[in-house]
Structure 1
Amino acid sequence: MFSFVLVTLLPSNVALAQPQAAGSGLSQPFVLQDGTPLKLRLNRNLSSADAHTGDQVDFEVLEEVKVNNVLIIPKGANALGTVTEAQAKRRMARGGKLGVNIDYVRLVDGEKAALRAVKEGSGGGHSGAMTGAMVATSLVVWPAAPFFLFMHGKDITIPKGTEIAAYVNGDMPLDAVKFQAAPAGAAGTAAAAPAQGGNVELEIASTPAGAEIEIDGNFVGSTPSTVGVNAGQHQITVKKAGYRNWERKMTTSSGHIKVAADLERAR
C-alpha cells in the first residue's frame, strides 16, 4: 500500500528575465508591470511540525528591480508570505501538509506591491498560492500492517535559503517623484529618501538581514542599507516579521556611523 502526502513545494529553478524598458528616464510610462519577476530567498526554516495557519513567512529579494532604469525594489528588500495550511505528520503514515501564499514586497518608497507565485494571473482569489505535488512516502507490506497504525508520515520541511520565483500581481502605477532620489545602481541603499538626505551616513545592518528600517517613523529601506540623515537626534527602528522590534535613539553630528541590530525572536 502506498501512502501519499500532499505537499506544497516552492519552485526554485524558474529562470527570471527582467522586462526591458524601451529607453530610459521618467518620460516613459512609470508602472511596475504585471508579471514582473522577482527572485526571493526564504529567511528561516519552515516546517509543518511547528508552523501555524496565519504565520508570516519572510523572504529576501535577491535581485534589484528597475523601471525605466530607476530602482524600484532594492536587493535585500523584504517580501512577506502567509502560511495558509499547516498540519503536522499523523498516524497511519500520513505526512504533514504545508501551504504558503506569497503576499507582497516592499518598494523603495515604502509601498507594497502584491505578488503571486505563477507568471500568468489566474483571475481567481488564490493567485498567490503555490502549487502542490504528490509524493510517495512509504510502502507497507500487509504482514506488518498492525505496525502501520502506529507509524508516522514525514513532516514537510523547507530549509532556510530556499530560493523561489514570484511575480508582481497586477499593474502598479508609481509616483516618479518618490523614486527620483534613489541612485540607479544603489542595490539595497534606496533607503535614502529626499527628506533624509544630510551630512551623516548611517550604515545599518541586522541579524538576520532583510529587516525594514524606519528613521523617525518613516520607512527608508531594508537591511543592509546606508542612509543619509541630517545631523541631530534620530529614532531608529529595525523590524522584521517574527522578531521583536529593535529601537535606538541616536544623536549624530557628522561622518559615517555603523549600526548593527541583533533581532530577537518574538515569543
Structure 2
Amino acid sequence: MTLQYIARKIADLNESNTWTRIQVGVFEVRDGVESQVGEYIRNYGLMRTFFHFQKNGKDYALYSPDYTCTRLMELPSCRDLGGEEPAGNGFCPVEYYVPCYIEREYEGVDGKRHRYLAIDPQSKDFEPSTDFRYPLDLVTGEREKIETPNILITPLTYMLFGFVSGCFWGDDSSWKVQVLDLSQAAKGIISREERFGYLPLPDKLSLKDSIDLINFELGEENWDITIATQRSFEFKTGKEN
C-alpha cells in the first residue's frame, strides 16, 4: 500500500483590485485513489509549495499559506503546527524538497555484509535483488560465479533536513536555495539557513534535480553535497554578467 499527500488549487478567490488568493485542496492518495482531506488559503499562486514527508511514522507537510513564509502541516488532519510567520522581507518559497532513503545490505568481496543508502529510491530499489561476483579460483585458474542476496534493511525514511528554493521580495531574477532543519517538525518548529551563500539555481531544473547528496552516510558529519547553479555570460566577450 502506498500513501502520499498532494495539494492543488481548487478555486480562485480573487476580488477586484485585491491581491491574488487561491483555495488549495489537500488530497490523500492511497494506492492511486484520491480523496480530499482538507484545504487552506494561500495569498499567491501555489507554485510547488507543498511537500509531504514522514517522521517517526507520522505524516507532515511543508507548506506556505502566506507567500513570505514556510510552515508545517500535520496530516491527515491538515492542522497547522507552526513555523515561520509572514514577513514583508521574508524568504518567499517556491519549492520544497526533503530527501528520503532506504538502507540495503550486500555481501562484499571480503565476505562481510555491508550497508549502503539508496537516496530517493525508486520502486525497483525496494525489491529483492541478487549480486554476482566472479572471483578467480587460484587452483583451477577459472572464475567462479557466486550469487549473494542484496536485501532491504530499513523502511523509507526521510532526512531530518530539507531544502527550500525561492527569493527575497524584489529579487525574483532567479531562485536561491536554503536549508531547513526539520528535527523538531513534530513540535511545529523549523529553522532556515542560508548555508551555501546566495546561490542561484538553474531555471530549467526542479529543486530536487538541482541537488545531489554525494556519499551521504548516516552519522557522518563530513560529507559533500553537489548543487547545480546558473551563471550568465556575455556571448561576444565571454565575461560573466
Scaled by the length of structure 2, what TM-score is found?
A: 0.29
Instruction: Between the two structures, name the one with larger relative contact order (CA 8 Å, sep ≥ 6).
Output: 1
